[in-house]
Amino acid sequence: MPRISPIFRLAIGLILLTVSLLLVGDLLGLTPDQTRAELKARKVIAEALAVQVSTDVSEQRVEVVAETLQALQERNDDVLSVGLRRGDGRLVAMAGEHVEHWDPSVGKRSTASQVRVPIHGEDGPWGVVEVAFEPLDSLWVALLKGQSIATIILFVALSGFG
């Protein structure tokens, strides 16, 4: 059986200790979370849009709503489509290929790529604003883009061993 040198064992031990410290730091929330920041930004976009649309709907300006939806969709690369749906399910205004991008099987809850925000008119609930976003990157894509804690761990492990 080949004997492992003490230098190699020491290097592996130090790398494992460093990687474990990085993982604990991530677990404690000390590292920035790109996914959480992206989800928060999507929520802010959808809620701001809903406030604007709600104001326009209460003032009976549906043509302005269509322009607002179009402007949002054109100016934000992550927004695939936007739709304004009445309470009865009828699509009143849309920007982009909303019928193609919106999956109604998700139901009434929002997901990472489909955000629904209810809007209210003067008489109460009026409908919902639906925003379809690009799907978030998977762990492997984030790793390749260098946007993951796994990228930092891999770098520290390889460079620390070297």
Position 111 scores a pLDDT of 85
Distance CA(58)–CA(19), nearest Å, equals 55
Element (H, E) at 58: helix 34-58
What pTM, to 2 d.p., does this model score? 0.70
Euclidean distance between CA atoms 94 and 11, whole angstroms: 58
Structure-block tokens of residue 72:
């949002």
Q: How far is CA 27 from the centre of its chain?
A: 20
User: With contact defined as beta carbons under 8 Å apart, do 73 and 96 qualify?
Assistant: yes
Residues (pLDDT < 50) of the chain are none
pLDDT digits (tens, 9 = 90+) for 21-39: 988 988 888 877 777 888 8
Q: Which of 53, 73, 75 is nearest to 64 (CA)?
A: 53
